[in-house]
Amino acid sequence: MNEFLGASSTWGSVLTIACFGLFRLLQTKLRRAWLNPLLLSGIVIGAFLLALNIPYSLYRNSSSMLSGMLLPATVSLAVPLYEQWQLLKRNLAAILCGIASGVITGLAATVLLAKAFRLDRSVALSFLPKSVTTAIGADIAAELGGIPSLAIVLIILTGICGNMLAPALCKWFRLRDPVARGIAIGTCSHALGTSKALEMGEAEGAMSGLAIAVAGVMTAVLVPLAAMLL
């Protein structure tokens, strides 16, 4: 089996797209938040690899096409932002303050919880960049002395939680303004949350895409200060 899969350069991409498409269809039909295609696709693919004893390296190599599409997909978030440029200019001060408060609150909560649960310092440092993209978060964790692989897992889980819970949380807290909704989602749950924000509305998606970049820069600047408190 491994030899057959090793000779194919696309089976990982096909498997990933098939799983995501199936769970996306189920979520659309049944309208259940727990039928999240990102979460369930990861579980099914992981179980498939374990059941057939397939090395992760084979899957990673055969799904490299999808990995290569991440950068242009992220850059494409600039399109809705451009279309909402006037909205951005009118609310620039509030947007920057909202992102800053979200970043500071997230870091402060992480420090307090790490102390409350007496987490090992390397583990606690891996939690700090949980709300930024994997490319930024893994480097931040490595620079601070954290565990990059753990940071990546935490970042992905944070994004999935944001993707699943964003609509419900906005409803519970009566957050109706599209700018506020987008900023909150992008600041807390990066690109995975932004994919949900785009479904909620064009303005939400644009503001969430902006929040990813700004929150990433703010986190990179503030994380070393938060690390001094651990």
Q: How many CB atoms lie within 10 A of CB 146?
A: 25
Mean pLDDT of 125-142: 90
Q: How many helical (H) and strand (E) elements, i.e. helices and strands, does the chain have?
A: 14, 0
pLDDT on residue 54: 86
Token code pair at residue 222: 């503030």
**Torsion over CA: 168, 171, 177, 183 (sign):** negative
Q: What is the pTM of this model?
A: 0.81
- Widest distance between CA atoms in the chain: 58
Query: What value does the mean pLDDT take over residues 9-35?
Result: 86
pLDDT digits (tens, 9 = 90+) for 4-19: 565 566 888 889 999 9
Contact 202, 83 (CB under 8 A): yes
Both tokens assigned to 18: 């098939």
Handedness of CA 177, 181, 182, 187 (dihedral sign): positive
Helix (H, G, I), strand (E, B) or coil at 128: coil
Residues 48-99: pLDDT tens digits?
989 988 888 888 888 888 777 766 776 776 777 777 788 888 888 999 999 9
Do 193 and 70 meet the contact criterion of CB atoms below 8 Å apart? no
In the predicted structure, residue 175 carries a pLDDT above the cut 70: yes
- Band of residue 127 on the pLDDT scale cut at 50, 70, 90: very high
SS3 154: helix
Q: Which two tokens stand for residue 42?
A: 């990861």
User: Environment class of residue 220 by beta-carbon count within 10 Å: exposed (0-12), middle (13-18) or buried (19+)?
Assistant: middle
- Give percent above pLDDT 90 in the chain: 47
The whole-angstrom distance between residue 59's C-alpha and the CA centroid of its chain comes to 21
Query: Measuring CA to CA, how many Å separate 53 from each of 48, 121, 149, 193, 227?
Result: 8, 34, 21, 32, 39
Give the tokens for residue 13: 């991409």
The tokens describing 80, both together, are 């809705």
Q: Which stretches does DSSP call E strand in 139-216? A: none
State the residue for tokens 């992905």.
Answer: 156
Domain ranges of the chain: 2-68, 78-227
